[in-house]
């Protein structure tokens, strides 16, 4: 059965209409609207960072001119997207204002760094290829637009021969021809088995070719239709492919105010050195690698994964919209008018069976006996639970009772337990949501009761990564479809969701396939098993449980210098959502850096998806884990 | 429309035990000057050809060993490589070992292909009558540019022989930890990405291999422009006759949902005969070339990631038609020598004669 959730990346959809059918405007609004409303998206460098699958390429593609023109052609169907583009300043009076194209900076650009030429030459080749390809990509955008323009005019001062040679030509058509010629020549150099001698590069004119400095805007006319004045925008995707020195150079080059075109640089967190990736993950500004540039003023930095609280609800909104769009593509759901994914995921777990419940009750009694807790105290703790504001199921109540019995035992003097009939605890027993969570976690691990269910858990397990969300959802969608085929109700039980999600998480971890993945897996295993054993302690001292290691901040700051391999393990683990880093986390008067497991690891090892619980650790412990 | 005859339409190939006697006979004359290029790695097949040539040939033998260095190589494999090198040193007199850093230490970008092309450029090819490339223990990222360098060089020796030990199960047993992203093989970029090929109908021919979904996903994700059609290559006939079925089951998600492959678009290629795949690829390209001639042409992209023997078919096709080759290099390998490995012999040696005296009257 065709399952569009398995397809994952929207970049695989060639057709604009098919692409737009699954695109949700939420990330554009959340990440770009603010800068867009301040009109700072198209006149300076914008750097967008995110983990793989976080939606960078999708965002880039939405802004491409041919896509925008498709949106405008079918305004009614794409109203929300149109509104988002409008908020970002990509539309004005329902007309596009950008000539935008996405340029994937794939391996060709990185190959330039391996050529045996001086740095200046290599950098010139890089910018030459980028500019030539951008011109060609802009032309392709215009060609792909519905109702091709009849006339394309450059709005630039091209009177002088100097300006013409800088731009490459005097008309848009000729500009494209020059760009095609230059692209071919540069690629011949890059692709040659043995590169030509430096002298032969003179014919490329790489030093003079600088169309980004000339092209202010492009006017396009349609036959009997409107005239659009478009501002060129280059969107450099996958900049992480570049050599670090190239990346720094390109960033410096794109910051330059001489450039008249808008420019975006999209990159993964792992593009930079580990310490920079760690800092960027948490939006700390880097010390300037760019002399003479105030990064905060001249560069707009957008991080698709951030610690902001509103991000979580924005992601949920986006995920819901995205899932519903994907479901509408499946005839099985569309014909039944099942287009609300959240309503198909049950959030009411089935209580334990009578026999399991009986065994749990017996366990509480035997535990009370083992701990020398009186019958009265047992009853009073039970009353505390039944009086607790929230309505808990019987199995949850008993699991909670088990925890509270143990907490009580640790809060009284052990001698008193034998002497006095019913001593009072040093601190009164209290129930909170953390303890509720601990009870449910206990039930998961002891009785395999459902724990991961409902749309919110699914979103939390996705680590705010769209691709991960789709891949996790895919297995649930398959199961729902199977139910429909069998004429069963569409709603998927909590038990089914927990089982399927954990199985999928296990598959994901087995299929990890990125640099240092084996060491990342070792580290995840060690953190997870330690967190699980501590979370399942009888007293549930960690409340809802832990899913992180905490390293003293001062130790962590030395990490990339003292332990480069570990730094790489953390960098790649973080880039691929195996874990996230939460630096400068205050706890007990001390600063920690948390290595917090991602949603996939939490699902697989049965750990809480709630954040904040951690086990104190050291860099040495982490080093030992990856050996 | 008449098409030019494929360059290796009548390629000379020896297998099933015919290779050792052929090599013994061909290199029986002391006037032959042979350069053997092979791998100095952990692969247990590394030493077979060197042993065979040193023991059974009367020709003068020089050996160039390429030692591939990868950033995450485990100690066990390094020790295996050292043992093999010791064997070479004991057995061969005229021996040169060159190090090849497959990845750049800074950012793990691929550099091996470029380095090997440089090494090839520095060789005095005029000194030899025959060059023998033993592909058994060399990675694809090295073999492809190396073979192309030899074929492209104006003074390369008269004869170019490729040798490989046909043991698909051993190839399957060497598990690669793939690099982060897919790249085109050095020297095999073809027209991929060029403006002149933007209108071309792109056909991607991935070789399906057990456990390599992530690798193929990286290649698919890295392909620009995205392919219009995908025809997976399945090994059939193969030693395990159910292999294609197992692969279809394993890749069901990719075939059905991600790549949306039409069930008729599957290429079956003999696991033991690289010429079968070579011919199939050329035939497909010929037919597509005609169909898409008026609409921007056809562009075939190859991704040989499976058995080494099969990938030689892809190598020949890509050299002949300048097809782009996109693949994912291995950061390191996992390999546990099993019983099966101990038992292989030079009977499994396959010989492909790519250039030389055998063709001089026909080409």
Please tell me whether residue B103 adopts helix, strand or coil conformation: strand
Q: Angle at Cα B353 formed by Cα B350 and Cα B357, nearest 5°?
A: 150
Provide mean pLDDT across the span A335-353.
91
CA–CA min distance A194, chain B (Å): 6
Please write the tens of the pLDDT for every residue from A399-409: 999 999 999 99
Question: Is B152's CB within 8 Å of A193's CB?
Answer: yes
Pick from A28-32, A50-54, A477-481, B272-276: least confident:
A50-54
Question: Of the candidates B96, B124, B129, which has an alpha carbon nearest to the alpha carbon of residue B26?
Answer: B129
| Contact between A440 and A399 (Cβ < 8 Å) | yes
Q: Residue A315's pLDDT band (boundaries 50, 70, 90)?
A: confident
Tell which of B73, B107, B334 to mutate to test the A interface (max A CBs under 10 Å). B107
Q: What single-letter DSSP state applies at residue B254? A: I
The answer to whether the CB atoms of A190 and B189 lie below 8 A apart is yes
Residue A379: how many CB atoms within 10 A of its CB? 10
Q: How far is CA A541 from CA A132, A587, B175, B229, in A?
A: 62, 15, 43, 57
CA distance A8 to chain B (A): 8
Mean pLDDT of A524-532: 96
Q: Are B227 and B301 in contact (CB under 8 A)?
A: yes
Q: What is the pLDDT of residue A552?
A: 94
Task: Using the predicted structure, report yes or no on whether residue A613 has a pLDDT greater than 80.
Answer: yes
Nearest by CB to B149, from A2, A8, A193: name it: A193
Q: Which residues of B250-263 are buried (b: 16+ CB within 10 A; e: fewer)?
A: bbebbbbbbbebee
Inform me whether the pLDDT recorded for B226 exceeds 90. Answer: no
Contact at CB, A114 and B111, closer than 8 angstroms? yes
User: Within A171-308, where are the H helices?
Assistant: 172-191, 244-255, 274-281, 295-298
Q: Show residues of chain A in contact with B258, CB under 8 Å.
A: 6-8, 12
> pLDDT digit string (tens) for A48-78?
988 777 889 899 999 999 999 999 988 888 9
Mean pLDDT calculated for residue range B128-135:
96
Distance from the Cα of B189 to chain A's closest Cα (Å) equals 6
Scanning the structure block, which residue is given the tokens 């993950």?
A281
Averaged pLDDT, B12-38:
94
Q: How many Å separate Cα A360 from the centre of its chain?
A: 40
**Mean pLDDT across the stretch B16-39?**
94
- Residues sharing a CB contact under 8 Å with residue B160, sequence separation 6 or more, in sequence order: B130, B131, B133, B147, B150, B151, B353, B354, B355, B356
> Is the pLDDT reported for residue A278 higher than 70?
no
Give one word for B180, left, alpha or beta, with left for phi > 0 and alpha for psi -120 to 50.
alpha
Q: pLDDT over 70 for what percent of chain A?
A: 89
**Residue A461 Cα, gap to closest chain B Cα (Å):** 21
pLDDT at residue A465 in the model: 86
How far, in Å, CA of A548 to CA of A519, rounded?
A: 17
The whole-number pLDDT of residue A294 equals 62
Q: How far is A476 from chain B (nearest CA, A)?
A: 15
For residues A151-178, give the mean pLDDT: 77
**Cβ neighbours, 10 Å, residue B174:** 16
Q: Per-residue pLDDT averaged across B226-246, rounded?
A: 92
* pLDDT number for residue A271: 44
Give the pLDDT of residue B331.
Answer: 85
Q: How far apart are CA A146 and CA A73, in angstroms?
A: 8
Please give the structure tokens belonging to residue B358.
């055998």
- Backbone dihedral angles phi then psi of residue A342, each to the nearest 5 degrees: -60, -35
Are A194 and B121 an interchain contact pair (Cβ–Cβ within 8 Å)?
Answer: yes
pLDDT at A536: 96
Residue of A nearest to B122 (CA): A194
Q: Does A197 touch chain B (CB under 8 A)?
A: no
Q: Using DSSP, state whether B213 is helix, strand or coil.
A: helix
Contacts of B260 in chain A (CB under 8 A): 2
Supply φ then ψ for residue A216, to 5 degrees.
-85, -50
Q: Is the pLDDT of residue B341 over 60?
A: no
pLDDT at res. B342: 53
B258: nearest CA in chain A?
A7
Where on the phi/psi map is residue A184: left (φ > 0), alpha (ψ -120 to 50), or beta? Answer: alpha
CB atoms within 10 A of CB A50: 26
pLDDT of residue A65: 94
Q: Which residues of A touch B213 (CB under 8 A)?
A: 511
Is A2's CB within 8 Å of B260's CB? yes
Nearest CB to A180 within list B177, B196, B214: B196
Q: Are A206 and A165 contacting, i.e. CB atoms less than 8 angstroms apart? A: no
Ranges of H-type helices in chain B: 19-26, 48-56, 75-91, 112-121, 140-152, 168-173, 213-222, 243-250, 252-253, 274-291, 308-321, 339-342
Contact A511, A414 (CB under 8 A): no
Range scoring the smallest mean pLDDT among A268-272, B175-179, B321-325: A268-272
Residue A557: per-residue pLDDT: 86
* Alpha carbon distance A241, B108 (integer Å): 10
Three-state secondary structure call for residue A221 = strand
Token pair belonging to A469: 């969300």
**A419: pLDDT strictly greater than 80:** no
Looking at the DSSP bridge assignments, the partners of residue B325 are: B302
Of A305 and A236, the structure prediction assigns the larger pLDDT to A236
Q: Indicate the domain borders of chain B.
A: 12-167+338-359, 180-328
- Count CB pairs under 8 A between chains A and B: 98
Mean pLDDT across B254-270: 91
pLDDT(A146) > 70 = no
Mean pLDDT, to the nearest integer, of B111-126?
95
Please tell me whether the interface predicted TM-score (ipTM) of this complex is above 0.90: no
Average pLDDT, integer, range A168-194 = 89
Contact between B300 and B321 under an 8 Å Cβ cutoff? The reply is yes
According to DSSP, the β-strands at A217-221 and A227-237 are antiparallel
Q: What is the pTM of this model?
A: 0.83
Which residue of chain A is at minimal alpha-carbon distance from B110?
A111
| DSSP H stretches of helix in A329-432 | 331-334, 354-370, 375-386, 394-410, 414-419
Structural tokens at position A597: 């497991």
Instruction: Tell me the nearest-neighbour CA distance from B215 into chain A, angstroms.
Output: 8
Place of tokens 């199939």: B280
- Which of A22, A101, A130, A513 to mutate: most B Cβ within 10 Å? A513
Give the residue from chain B lying closest to A179, CA to CA: B195
Residue among A606, A545, A546, A538 at smallest CA distance from A402: A538
B172 vs A430, which has greater pLDDT? Answer: A430
- Alpha carbon distance, N-terminus to C-terminus of chain B: 21
Q: In a mutagenesis test of the B interface, which of A1, A139, A191 is the best target, namely the one with the most B β-carbons within 10 Å?
A: A191
Is residue A415 predicted with pLDDT exceeding 70?
Answer: no
If one compares A291 and A230, the residue with the highest pLDDT of the two is: A230
Picking from A4, A114, A511, the nearest residue to B214 by CB comes out as A511
CA B185 to chain A, closest CA, distance in angstroms equals 9
User: Coil, strand or helix: which one is A436?
Assistant: helix
Is the confidence at residue A248, as pLDDT, over 60? yes
pLDDT digits (tens, 9 = 90+) for B191-221: 988 888 888 999 999 999 888 888 898 899 8
Mean pLDDT of the region B111-136: 95
A106 touches chain B (CB under 8 A): yes
Q: Are A283 and A30 in contact (CB under 8 A)?
A: no
Q: Look at residue A287 in the predicted model and tell me its pLDDT.
A: 47
Please tell me which residue of chain B has the smallest CA distance to A514.
B180
CB–CB contact B104 A8 (8 Å): no
Residue A295 binned pLDDT confidence (cut-offs 50, 70, 90): low
The answer to whether the CB of B55 falls within 8 A of the CB of A499 is no
pLDDT tens sequence across B66-79:
999 998 777 777 88
Nearest to A438 by CA among A547, A525, A541: A541
Q: Please state, in angstroms and rounded to a whole number, the distance separating the CA atoms of residues B51 and B344.
A: 14
Q: For residue B225, is pLDDT > 80?
A: yes
* Dist. CA A58–CA A465, nearest whole Å: 13
Binned at pLDDT 50, 70 and 90, residue A249 comes out as very high
The pLDDT of residue A126 is above 50: yes
Contact between chains at B109 and A114 (C-beta distance less than 8 A)? yes
Task: State the residue for tokens 């095609």.
Answer: A180
Q: What pLDDT score does A512 carry?
A: 87
Show residues of chain B in contact with A514, CB under 8 Å. 180
* Closest by Cβ to A193, choosing from B117, B218, B260: B117
Q: Tell me if A179 and B195 make a contact (CB, 8 A cut-off).
A: yes
Structure tokens at A385: 């639970």
pLDDT surpasses 90 at A307? no
d(CA A310, CA A425): 40
pLDDT in tens, A94-117: 899 999 999 999 888 999 999 999
* Minimum distance, in Å, between the CA of residue A433 and any CA atom of chain B: 40
What per-residue confidence (pLDDT) applies to A514?
82
Question: Do the Cβ atoms of B357 and B158 come closer than 8 Å?
Answer: yes
Q: Is the pLDDT of residue B113 over 90?
A: yes
In the predicted model, is pLDDT for residue A435 greater than 70?
yes
Q: Residue A492: which of A453, A539, A544, A537 has the closest Cα?
A: A453
- Tell me the three state secondary structure of residue B182: coil
Residue B199 corresponds to which tokens in the numbers above?
Answer: 């209108």
Give the architecture-level CATH label for domain B12-167+338-359. 3-Layer(aba) Sandwich (3.40)
Give the dihedral sign, CA A332/A336/A338/A339. Answer: positive
Give the pLDDT band (50/70/90) at residue A288: very low
For every residue of B120-165, DSSP letters joined together read: HHTS-GGG-SEEEEEGGGS-HHHHHHHHHHHHH-TT--SEEEEEEE
Residues A30 and A309 sit within 8 Å (Cβ to Cβ): no
- Please check whether the domain covering B180-328 is classified as CATH 1.10.3470: no
Looking at residue A257, its pLDDT comes to 85
Q: What values do phi and psi take at A304, rounded to 5?
A: -75, -20
| pLDDT cut 70: percent of chain B above it | 94
Q: Select from A436, A433, A413 the least CA-distant residue to A425.
A: A413
pLDDT at A310: 67
pLDDT tens for residues B32-69? 999 999 999 888 888 889 999 999 899 999 999 999 99
Q: How far apart are CA A531 and CA A512, in angstroms?
A: 21
Mean pLDDT (whole number) for A319-324: 90
Predicted local distance difference test score (pLDDT) of residue A507:
92
Q: What is residue B59's DSSP assignment? A: S
How do the residues of chain A divide into helix, strand and coil, expressed in percent and rounded to 5?
Answer: 55, 10, 35
């Amino acid at each position: 059965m065709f399952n569009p959730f398995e397809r994952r990346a929207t970049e695989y959809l060639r057709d604009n209409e098919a692409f737009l059918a699954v695109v949700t405007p939420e990330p554009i609004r959340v990440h770009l609207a603010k800068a867009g409303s301040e009109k700072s998206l198209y006149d300076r460098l914008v750097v967008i960072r995110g983990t793989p699958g976080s939606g960078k390429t999708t965002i880039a593609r939405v802004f491409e001119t041919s896509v925008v023109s498709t949106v405008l052609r079918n305004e009614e169907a794409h109203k929300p997207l149109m509104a988002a583009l409008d908020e970002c300043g990509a539309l004005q009076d329902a007309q596009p204002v950008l000539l935008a194209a996405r340029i994937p900076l794939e391996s060709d650009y990185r190959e330039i760094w391996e050529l045996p030429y001086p740095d200046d030459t290599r950098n010139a080749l890089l910018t030459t290829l980028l500019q030539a390809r951008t011109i060609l990509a802009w032309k392709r955008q215009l060609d792909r637009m519905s109702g091709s323009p009849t006339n394309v005019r450059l709005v630039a001062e091209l009177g002088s021969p100097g300006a013409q040679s800088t731009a490459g030509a005097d008309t848009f058509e000729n500009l494209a021809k020059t760009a095609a010629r230059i692209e071919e020549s540069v690629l011949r150099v890059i692709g040659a088995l043995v590169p030509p001698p430096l002298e032969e590069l003179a014919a490329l004119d790489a030093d003079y070719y600088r169309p980004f400095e000339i092209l202010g805007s492009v006017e396009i006319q349609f036959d009997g239709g409107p005239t659009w004045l478009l501002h060129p925008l280059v969107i450099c995707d996958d900049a992480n492919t570049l050599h670090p020195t190239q990346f720094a150079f390109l960033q410096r080059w794109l910051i330059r105010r001489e450039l008249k075109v808008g420019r975006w640089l999209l990159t993964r967190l792992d593009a930079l050195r580990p310490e920079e990736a760690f800092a960027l993950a948490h939006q700390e500004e880097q010390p300037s690698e760019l002399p003479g540039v105030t990064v905060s003023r001249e560069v707009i930095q957008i991080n698709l994964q951030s610690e902001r609280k509103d991000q979580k609800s924005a992601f949920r909104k986006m995920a819901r919209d995205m899932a519903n769009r994907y479901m509408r593509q499946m005839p099985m759901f569309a014909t039944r008018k099942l287009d609300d994914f959240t309503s198909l995921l049950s959030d009411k777990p089935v209580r334990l069976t009578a026999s399991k419940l009986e065994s749990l009750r017996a366990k509480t009694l035997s535990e009370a006996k083992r701990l020398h807790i009186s019958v009265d105290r047992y009853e009073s703790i039970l009353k505390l639970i039944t009086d607790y504001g929230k309505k808990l199921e019987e199995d949850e109540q008993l699991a909670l009772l088990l925890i509270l019995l143990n907490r009580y035992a640790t809060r009284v003097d052990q001698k008193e337990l034998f002497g006095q009939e019913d001593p009072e605890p040093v601190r009164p027993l209290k129930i909170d949501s953390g303890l509720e969570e601990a009870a449910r976690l206990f039930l998961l691990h002891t009785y395999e009761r459902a724990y991961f269910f409902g749309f919110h858990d699914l979103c939390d397990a996705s680590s705010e990564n769209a691709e991960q969300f789709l891949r996790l959802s895919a297995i649930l969608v398959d199961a729902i479809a199977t139910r429909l085929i069998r004429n069963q109700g569409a709603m998927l039980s909590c038990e089914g969701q927990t089982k399927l999600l954990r199985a999928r998480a296990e598959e994901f971890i087995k299929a990890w396939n990125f640099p240092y993945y084996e060491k990342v897996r070792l580290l995840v295993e060690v953190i997870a098993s330690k967190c699980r054993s501590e979370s399942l302690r009888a007293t549930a001292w960690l409340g809802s449980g832990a899913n992180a290691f905490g390293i003293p901040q001062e130790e962590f700051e030395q990490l990339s210098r003292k332990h480069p391999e570990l730094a790489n393990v953390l960098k790649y683990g973080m880039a691929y959502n195996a874990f996230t880093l939460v630096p400068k986390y205050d706890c007990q008067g001390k600063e920690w850096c948390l290595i917090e497991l991602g949603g996939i690891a939490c699902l697989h090892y049965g750990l809480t998806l709630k954040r904040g619980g951690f086990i104190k650790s050291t860099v040495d412990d982490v080093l030992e884990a990856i050996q | 429309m008449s098409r030019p005859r494929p360059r290796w339409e009548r390629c000379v190939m020896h297998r099933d035990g015919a290779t050792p006697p052929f090599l013994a006979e061909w290199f029986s004359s002391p006037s032959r000057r042979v350069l053997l290029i092979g791998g100095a790695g952990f692969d247990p097949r590394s030493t077979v050809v060197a042993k065979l040539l040193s023991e059974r040939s009367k020709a003068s033998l020089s050996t160039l060993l390429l030692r591939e260095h990868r950033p995450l190589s485990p100690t066990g494999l390094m020790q295996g490589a050292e043992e093999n090198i010791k064997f070479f040193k004991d057995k061969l007199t005229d021996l040169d070992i060159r190090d090849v850093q497959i990845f750049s230490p800074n950012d793990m970008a691929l550099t091996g292909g470029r380095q090997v092309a440089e090494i090839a450029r520095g060789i005095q090819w005029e000194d030899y009558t025959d060059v023998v490339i033993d592909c058994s223990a060399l990675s694809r990222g090295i073999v492809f540019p190396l073979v192309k360098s030899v074929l492209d060089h104006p003074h390369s020796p008269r004869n170019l022989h490729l040798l490989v030990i046909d043991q698909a199960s051993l190839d399957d047993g060497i598990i690669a930890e793939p690099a982060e992203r897919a790249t085109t093989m050095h020297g095999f970029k073809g027209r991929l990405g060029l403006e002149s090929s933007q209108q071309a109908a792109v056909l991607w021919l991935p070789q399906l291999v057990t456990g390599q979904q992530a690798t193929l996903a990286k290649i698919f994700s890295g392909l620009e422009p995205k392919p219009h059609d995908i025809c997976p290559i399945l090994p059939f006939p193969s030693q395990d006759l159910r292999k294609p079925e197992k692969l279809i089951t394993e890749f069901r998600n990719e075939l059905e949902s991600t790549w949306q492959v039409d069930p008729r678009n599957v290429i079956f290629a003999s696991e033991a005969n690289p010429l079968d795949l070579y011919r199939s690829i050329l035939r497909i390209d010929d037919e597509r070339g005609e169909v898409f001639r008026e609409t921007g042409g056809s562009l075939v992209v190859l991704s040989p990631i499976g058995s080494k023997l099969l990938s030689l078919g892809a190598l020949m096709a890509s050299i002949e038609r300048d097809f782009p080759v996109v693949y994912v290099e291995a950061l390191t390998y996992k390999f546990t020598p099993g019983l099966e490995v101990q038992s292989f012999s030079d009977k499994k040696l396959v010989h492909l004669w790519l250039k030389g005296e055998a063709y001089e009257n026909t080409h």
